[in-house]
Amino acid sequence: MKTHNLGFPRIGDNRELKHALESYWRGETSQNELLETGAHLRKNNWECQKELDYVPVGDFSFYDHVLDTSWMLGNIPARAQKTGGSTLDRYFRTARGQSAGDGEDNQISAGEMTKWFDTNYHYIVPEFDPSTEFCLDDGSLLDQVQEAQKAGVNPKPVVLGPVTYLFLGKAENFDKKTLLKKLLPEYVGLLNRLAARDVEWVQIDEPLLVTDLDNDWKHMLKQTYQALANESVKIMLATYFGPLDDNLDLALSLPVQALHVDAVRGKDQVPDLVSRLPEHMVLSLGVIDGRNIWKTDLNTLLDQLTPIHDQLGDRLWLAPSCSMLHVPVDLEIETGLDTELLSWMAFARQKLVELDLLAKALNQGRTIVAAALEENAKALENRKKSPRIHNPGVQARLAQVDDSWGERNLPYPERAKRHKEKLNLPLYPTTTIGSFPQTKEIRSLRLKFKRGQIGLNDYTTGIRDQMKSTIEFQEETGLDVLVHGEAERNDMVEYFGERLDGFAFSRYGWVQSYGSRCVKPPILFGDVSRPQPMTVMWIVYAQSLSEKPVKGMLTGPVTILNWSFVRDDQSRADTCRQIALAIRDEVLDLEKAGVSIIQIDEAALREGLPLRKNQWEEYLNWAVEAFRIAANGVKDETQLHTHMCYSEFNDIIDAITRMDADVITIEASRSNMEILNAFDETAYPNEIGPGVYDIHSPNVPSVDFIVTNMKEAAKRIPRERLWINPDCGLKTRSWPETKESLKNLVEAAKVLRAAATA
């Protein structure tokens, strides 16, 4: 029985990759220094995986592995192809864009980013058109194979499969499936070249196999693996993030030497797989959860694995369920968690130890690891029985919740009249989504406070000063509905996790979100409740500085759930309802404090959709119910907003309507407002703020651009129901571009209002 890994976190124990990238981008370090950091991180990662029989190579990336695949295949967007600087600079330009004034004359838009399946990792979307050609440039991967061989590990190169690569890309008015025939020869070439480097196994990732596939995609998978079947190198076809379900027959029929399956989310499929596994095939069971941070129940797992091992012998391999990109690196360096909580968890390095224990127990007998197994059992037992997990008060309160908790008194048209009277906003009201630039100054203020270098008073004063200047800027610019700017928040989810009972937060538990950006997902381990108000003090302060309404700003229960590591001992629906009650308390306290507009962000509601459509309805039912519980306890006079920043709303428009927020702000500029077709008058009856420009790019939108976008919007939605706003928060932007963009946004509103009254 062999062990392997599908991928290791690439950011480093202390986010070395983030720091190296950002200092290179600021021009403070050389390309060589950045390359050295990369080499050092890879070496470290291989070193800690050296007990494995096969170690992943090619899982490291300076920005994103999907973008790396585009580069390896020579699929580089034309706009970035002939620009200056080194290959690495062009690579970064493809990902991040380039503003005029970056030393180059032309402005280049950033590659589109979207979530990687149902994770909080975001990849750069491959771009396809009828002229797309591929041209293999595998130098970087081959070099890494050599590096790994020198480091003394047995490399298993990891590549994104051709079918998933096409599946994830975008193509306008063009059938991207037709590109497969051009793509396959490049993959054949790649496998041959890897074989020539003495590589025994190549892992080809095809996670699309856990999604709903039509016959065309299924056929493409067959075609692909027939074309790639190769005498000289063995293929491990890797699937993850769910069970194969109706694609199981297809996966088993492909001419590959090994199949990896997610045996955590797809636990129930394992017996079927084992009994039907073709004789020539290795089965890799992903038994360690690569998506969560709880210790594995090793003893129970061994009971289940032993008969499988007896049956399959060395045709059984073990691994984490998916790449460990989605969990933090090392629990050993953690200082933010108490010893009891620590004893319940495993980060990436600890998961490798678990894997090693399983292998030893199966290969050499359990007695050899008896002490470790006993310790594991004790930790799990302790977690199960811990009084810290169960809060009878929360359970009792949940039992009282009925439908009325999620209902407003009056229907939207009646509420809208009251809002008009109370708020007296102009046509096309202007607003922003919540955050303003998270400057170095704000971050270092918080760091000093955390390190005890400044006290609470100085911290509060410093943050208030930031809020004051943000409010002043918005007043001067003429925005209609203001925000406090979120300067007090490290992150829109972590901030709430830090303030809710039932959550723990780590000091170093970073996970890559995109490029150099990381998040520290809070750890939800027990029943959730809100010991005291979390945001009221800041919003009340910000409101005291202006006559204009300042929005109360909260993160919704579904987003907190989807972007946290959550307990696995009860359903996600139950956990979400608990968070909803805590947010409801905050909403009602904000209202009581005189806040007239409250926004509840549900950025991850769409993101959290299950990968299989037949599970959508159940998810959307409890997700919408949780939002309604959190939001709809307010009076009719209070205007309730929500925000979602990812496209593709068509499929869930009914659910969004059921949320019944008075106003929804959405991402729309990247689709030139076409997204609003989903929100047409009949489908969506409330107000909408279609994001008029893309905040992921430093480019400043012109007044004309915003006016044109809003005119497109007004073709679909009556203008009385339209708001004007950016498509998401401004935390990653700098002040100069923020100021210019928002001035243009307010100017555009004036143009549109004048046109409306002319």
Which residues make up each annotated binding site for L-methionine?
433-435, 486, 601
Q: How many residues bind Zn ion (CB under 5 A)?
A: 3
Q: Are 641 and 600 a contacting pair, CB within 8 Å?
A: yes
The CA distances from residue 60 to 12, 41, 304, 590, 662, in Å, are 10, 8, 33, 45, 44
Residues 549-578 that bind ligand LYWDKB7T (CB under 6 A): 563
Applying CB under 5 A, which of residues 235, 728, 730, 742 lies at the interface with Zn ion?
A: 728
Least distance in angstroms from the C-beta of 564 to ligand LYWDKB7T: 8
Least Å distance between CB 463 and ligand LYWDKB7T? 11
In Å, the largest CA–CA distance within the chain is: 86
Nearer to ligand HCS, 17 or 550 (CB): 550
Cβ proximity to ligand HCS: between 261 and 493 the closer is 493
Tell me if 488 contacts ligand HCS by CB under 6 A: no
Chain-centre distance of CA 432, in angstroms?
A: 22
Known catalytic membership, residue 484: no
Are the beta carbons of 664 and 643 closer than 8 angstroms? Answer: yes
Among 223, 191, 200, which Cα is nearest to 154's?
200
> Cα separation of 162 and 179, whole Å?
10
Is 738 an interacting residue with respect to ligand LYWDKB7T (CB under 6 A)?
no
Quick count: other Cβ atoms within 10 Å of Cβ 574?
13
C-alpha span between 440 and 456 (Å, rounded)? 19
Residue listed under structure tokens 């970087």: 140
* Residue 541 C-beta: closest distance to ligand HCS, Å: 18
| CB nearer ligand LYWDKB7T, residue 344 or residue 496 | 496
For residue 742, the partner it binds in ligand HCS, ligand LYWDKB7T, Zn ion, none, with Cβ less than 5 to 8 A by kind, is none
CA 350, 561, 510: angle at the middle one, nearest 5? 40
HSE value, Cβ hemisphere, 13 Å, CA-based, for 665: 25
Output the smallest distance, CB 116 to ligand HCS, in A: 17
The H or E element spanning position 689 is strand 687-691
Nearer to ligand HCS, 453 or 732 (CB): 732
| CB closer to ligand HCS, 349 vs 446 | 446
How far apart are CB 17 and ligand HCS at their closest, in Å? 23
Total residue count of the chain as it appears in this document: 758
Comparing CB distances to Zn ion, the nearer of 248 and 645 is 645
Q: Does residue 24 sit in helix, strand or coil?
A: helix
**Short-list 257, 44, 282, 296, CA closest to 147:** 44
Question: Exposed, middle or buried by CB within 10 Å (0-12, 13-18, 19+), for 393?
Answer: exposed
Sign, CA dihedral 398-401-403-408, equals negative
Summarize the annotated binding site for Zn(2+) as residue ranges.
643, 645, 667, 728
Rule CB under 6 A: choose which of 122, 419, 643, 733 binds ligand HCS: 643
The answer to whether 556 contacts ligand HCS (rule: CB under 6 A) is: no
Q: Can you say whether the dihedral through the CA atoms of 610, 614, 615, 621 is positive or negative?
A: positive
The number of angstroms, rounded, from the C-alpha of 232 to the middle of its chain's C-alpha atoms is 37
- Return d(Cα 465, Cα 445) in angstroms, integer: 12
Candidates 316-324, 427-435, 508-516, 533-541; binding stretch for ligand HCS (CB under 6 A): 427-435
N-terminal to C-terminal alpha carbon distance within the chain: 77
Rounded to whole angstroms, the Cα distance separating 156 from 164 reads 19
91 sits near ligand LYWDKB7T (criterion: CB under 6 A) = no
CA 327 to chain centroid: 12
Which is closer to ligand LYWDKB7T, CB of 446 or CB of 641?
A: 446
Q: Which residue is nearest to ligand HCS (CB)?
A: 729
Binding segment (CB under 6 A) for ligand HCS, from list 83-91, 137-145, 429-437, 647-655 = 429-437
Q: Which of 122, 326, 419, 696 is catalytic?
A: 696
Return binding residues for L-homocysteine. Answer: 433-435, 486, 601
List, as residue ranges, the binding site for 5-methyltetrahydropteroyltri-L-glutamate.
Answer: 15-18, 115, 120, 517-518, 563, 607
CB 589 within 8 A of CB 367: no
Q: Residue 491: name its binding partner from ligand LYWDKB7T, ligand HCS, Zn ion, none (Cβ under 5 to 8 Å by kind).
A: ligand LYWDKB7T
Q: Which of residues 486-515 bind ligand LYWDKB7T (CB under 6 A)?
A: 490-494, 513
Burial class (CB in 10 A: 0-12, 13-18, 19+), 534: buried
Choice from 732, 734, 740, 756 touching ligand LYWDKB7T (CB under 6 A) = 732
Q: Min. distance of Cβ 613 from ligand HCS in angstroms?
A: 25
Cα–Cα distance for residue pair 691/706, rounded to 1 Å? 10
Candidate list 298, 362, 519, 659; residue touching ligand LYWDKB7T; CB under 6 A: 519
603 counts as binding ligand LYWDKB7T under rule CB under 6 A: yes
HEC string for 557-576: HHHHHHCCEECCCCCHHHHH
Within 10 A of 269 (CB to CB), how many other CB atoms are there? 17
| Per-residue binder mask for ligand LYWDKB7T (CB under 6 A), 108-127, x = binder | ------------x-------
Among 446, 499, 551, 628, binds ligand LYWDKB7T (CB under 6 A): 446
User: What residues between 432 and 471 interact with ligand HCS by CB under 6 A?
Assistant: 433-435
The helix (H) or strand (E) run that includes residue 283 is strand 282-288
Least spacing, CB of residue 603 vs ligand HCS, in Å? 4
Q: Alpha carbon of 251 to those of 283, 368, 469: distances in Å?
A: 11, 36, 58
Residues with Cβ within 8 Å of 606's Cβ and at least 6 positions away in sequence, in order, are 644, 646, 648, 649, 652
- Does 440 bind ligand LYWDKB7T (CB under 6 A)? Our answer is yes
Q: What is the CA radius of gyration of the chain?
A: 26
Of 298, 355, 369, 603, the residue at the interface with Zn ion (CB under 5 A) is 603
Q: Which does 451 bind (CB under 5 to 8 A by kind): ligand HCS, Zn ion, ligand LYWDKB7T, none?
A: none
Whichever of 350 and 564 has its CB closer to ligand HCS, that residue is 564
DSSP tag of 480: S
Task: Determine if 461 is a binding residue for ligand LYWDKB7T (CB under 6 A).
Answer: no
Which span sits near ligand LYWDKB7T by CB under 6 A: 161-169, 227-235, 348-356, 444-452? 444-452
What residue type is assigned to position 621 of the chain? N
Q: Determine how many CB atoms are found less than 10 A away from the CB of residue 442.
A: 21
| Rounded least distance, CB 519 to ligand LYWDKB7T, Å | 4
DSSP symbols for 54-116: BEEES---SS-HHHHHHHHTT---HHHHT-SS-HHHHHHHHHH-B-TTSSSSS-BPPPPEEES
Q: Is the CB of residue 640 less than 8 Å from the CB of residue 634?
A: yes
- Residue 447's binding partner, choosing from Zn ion, ligand LYWDKB7T, ligand HCS, none, with beta-carbon cut-off 5 to 8 A by kind? ligand LYWDKB7T
- In the complex with Zn ion, the residue whose CB is nearer, 511 or 728, is 728
**Catalytic sites, residue numbers:** 696
For Zn ion, the binding residues (CB under 5 A) are: 603, 645, 728
Please give the residue ranges that form the binding site for ligand LYWDKB7T (CB under 6 A).
Answer: 120, 438, 440, 443-444, 446-447, 490-494, 513, 517-520, 563, 603, 732
What is the binding site for ligand HCS (CB under 6 A)?
A: 433-435, 492, 553, 601, 603, 643, 645, 728-729, 731
